[in-house]
Amino acid sequence: MLREASAAGASRVTKVQLALGDFSTVVEESVRFYWEFMSRDTVAAGALLEFGRVAPLARCRSCGTQYTPECRDQRCPGCQQALPDLLCGDEFRVEAIDVE
């Protein structure tokens, strides 16, 4: 993120928009807690963190049914097969950076 801000000629990062999946192992409160330490003495110091939640979406490997699982190992509602492919919902990524 700092590399991109520097490449854009930014003097300051004002906001960082993050995507956080509902099944992600990343804890929002932990990211907020450590952000101050990680951004200290950088162009991102004091930048606002904004989290966008990403709902899970799964696809059955057997029948292709797509569904919104309530837990990571929920069986397919169409054929009851286990171990679906999780299409989204476990991500943690930077979506956008606002700079000055």
Using DSSP's 3-state secondary structure scheme, residue 46 falls into coil
Q: Which residues fall within 8 angstroms of residue 59, CB to CB, at 6 or more apart?
A: 65, 66, 84, 85, 87
Kindly list the structural domains of the chain, giving each domain's residue range(s) and its CATH number in brackets, ordered by start. Answer: 2-99 (3.30.2320.80)
What pLDDT tens digit does each residue of the chain (100 aa) get? Answer: 767 767 777 789 999 999 999 999 999 999 999 999 999 999 999 999 999 999 999 999 999 999 999 998 899 999 999 889 999 999 999 999 998 8
pTM, entire model? 0.82
